[in-house]
């Protein structure tokens, strides 16, 4: 399957922008979706996230997703033909959320402030969307069989683009010399920990109100380390 490039307008990706194999249901054959169709699709994805997070892909059934979404199974099949299609859509929606903060890294901004803002946006995603992150992490831990075309295509393109921005800041003497790709990986690892291990974080801290302290700590480590001496 050929790799797809990120769109030139750099706007948010949609399900149809990503190189995933799926069967086209009747709801997607129409030229323009109605508001009700969009709302029902979102309802299905929310229900599917809850089911997949609780039982895993293999344990989930279309009947469970339909029941949680408050609709019949035939109605659900109007929007998604197979369980796999729903699973891919949930994963893709998660990836859309996760790529947004990196996409917002502004080449024309102040490097230290851009990195600081990126870290905080990632922490906010970890706080607000832990189930999505856990589902995505589980997919990757199993070798990313459904998402590899996305990881090798749009995700790689996005990371390479922003790594080039960081490399330019370093060349201008505005950041401490580091490898841009590994810097991005380190930010992912530290921020997404709060989502993927949310129960552990809450248990150790005795609270789920950790965002400001986490942001300040990561700011001291990353931003302090990246600021030229």
In Å, the largest CA–CA distance within the chain is 63
pTM here? Answer: 0.79
Q: Show pLDDT as tens, one digit a residue, over the chain (229 residues).
A: 333 332 333 344 444 455 455 555 655 555 567 888 989 999 999 999 999 988 888 889 999 999 999 999 999 999 999 999 999 899 888 888 888 899 999 999 999 999 999 999 999 999 998 888 888 888 888 888 888 888 899 889 999 999 999 999 999 999 999 999 999 999 999 999 999 999 999 999 999 999 999 999 999 999 999 999 8
**pLDDT number for residue 220:** 95
Give 38-41 contacts, CB < 8 A, sequence gap 24+. Answer: 40/69, 40/71, 40/75, 40/79, 41/79
**pLDDT number for residue 3:** 32
**pLDDT number for residue 10:** 38
**pLDDT number for residue 99:** 84
Domains of the chain, first to last: 18-226 (1.10.357.10)
């Amino acid at each position: 399957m050929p790799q797809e490039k990120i769109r030139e307008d750099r706007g948010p990706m949609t399900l149809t922008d990503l190189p995933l194999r799926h069967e086209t249901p009747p709801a997607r054959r129409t030229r323009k979706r109605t508001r009700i169709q969009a709302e029902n699709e979102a309802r299905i994805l929310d229900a599917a996230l809850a089911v997949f997070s609780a039982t895993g892909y293999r344990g989930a059934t279309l009947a469970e997703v339909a029941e949680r979404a408050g609709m019949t199974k035939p109605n659900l099949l109007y929007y998604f033909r197979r369980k796999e299609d729903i699973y891919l859509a949930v994963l893709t929606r998660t990836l859309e959320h996760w790529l947004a903060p990196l996409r917002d890294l502004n080449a024309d901004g102040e490097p230290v402030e851009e990195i600081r803002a990126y870290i905080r946006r990632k922490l906010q995603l970890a706080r607000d969307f832990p189930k999505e992150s856990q589902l995505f992490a589980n997919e990757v831990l199993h070798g990313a069989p459904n998402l590899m075309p996305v990881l090798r295509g749009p995700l790689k393109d996005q990371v390479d683009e922003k790594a080039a921005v960081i490399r330019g800041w370093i060349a201008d003497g505005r950041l401490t010399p580091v490898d841009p790709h590994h810097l991005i990986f380190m930010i992912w690892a530290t921020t997404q920990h709060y989502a993927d291990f949310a129960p552990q974080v809450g248990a150790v801290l005795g609270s789920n109100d950790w965002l400001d302290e986490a942001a300040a700590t990561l700011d001291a480590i990353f931003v302090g380390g990246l600021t030229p001496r």
